[in-house]
Amino acid sequence: MSEPEVKTLTGICTEIAQKPGSEWVEFHVDGGGQYPVRLSTKLQPLIELGRAVGQNLATWTFKEHESEKINEKSGKPFLNRYLEGVEIGGAPGKPDPHHAPLVAGDKDRAITRMACLKAAAEVVGPAPGAMEGAATMVMEIAARFETWVYRDIDPTPF
């Protein structure tokens, strides 16, 4: 078992969970990674401070160390993360995206666009020695397909 490592994470608390039958509270903090980081504490002042932060951007300080319990799938020890402190504010861990975040309709539109591109590529097909302009032709055909797919929507999403 290794020495605890003190780390900080800037993010937003997405969930607060009281562990059943214990005084431990777990804060799920979204710091921009694939999954939220779970930080546990049973210290009442930290619990109150974490709840007071709400869904504001905050800097979370925690100790991370390996558990004695081994993960059966990976063969590595589990990581325990214990909350040490919370401060409201901070710079997010990842830079802001250069575009607006996706919403549910955007995902559907992206899937539709990929299907139109695939269909257009099949229409054009591989023409020997004629690769110049083939990409442009596929994009033009895909745009026509996409316009046809969205023909009944007023106004169209593009």
One digit per residue, the tens of pLDDT, for the chain of length 158 reads: 567 889 998 888 989 999 888 899 999 998 888 888 999 999 999 999 999 988 888 899 999 988 889 989 999 998 999 999 999 876 555 544 444 554 455 677 778 778 877 887 777 776 655 566 777 777 788 888 777 777 776 665 55
Q: Return the CATH number of the domain spanning residue range 5-88.
A: 2.40.50.140
Is residue 139 within 8 A of residue 116, CB to CB? The reply is no
Q: Which of the 8 DSSP states describes residue 73? A: T
Residue 135: the pLDDT is: 73
CA-nearest of 25, 29, 32 to 14 is 29
Q: Whole-angstrom Cα distance, residue 135 to residue 64?
A: 50
CB atoms within 10 A of CB 27: 27
Look up the pTM and report it.
0.55
CA 38 from chain centre, in angstroms, equals: 15
